[in-house]
Amino acid sequence: MESDNSVGIGFLDSDDKMASGKADSSGGFNLSGSTKELTGIEPYLAVFHDCKDGITPCQRVFRVNIPKSYTNSGSSAKKTYDAGVIELSGKYPGESRSCLN
């Protein structure tokens, strides 16, 4: 997919938006975030995009779960999660639409 900077990325826990951003012209992105929680977090990337979407309103959105082994106490990450290459032309399990971006 050619990037037009319309791919939005969010770094979230079930109740917290920890970071957000947009893909660069080559499709790459970097996010970091932190939160104050008494219990463990279940972080995930939320990918919002319009690829292979025609004129359908709102954006396609799907989640990429981040393993708990990439979370730690403190404000600096000890491990970096590499999401790899995410192909946006197909449909992902649990994919939905969102008009709230």
Domain with 88, as residue range(s), is 8-98
Within a domain: 2: no
Assign 3-state DSSP to the chain and report helix, strand, coil percentages, each to 5: 5, 30, 70
From CA 101, how far away is CA 90, in angstroms rounded?
21
- Number of structural domains in the chain: 1
Over the stretch 80-93, which tens digit does the pLDDT of each residue have? 999 999 999 889 99
Instruction: For residue 3, tell me if it sits in a domain.
Output: no
pLDDT in tens, 6-64: 566 665 555 678 888 888 888 888 888 888 877 778 888 889 998 888 888 999 999 99
Q: Is residue 47 in some structural domain?
A: yes
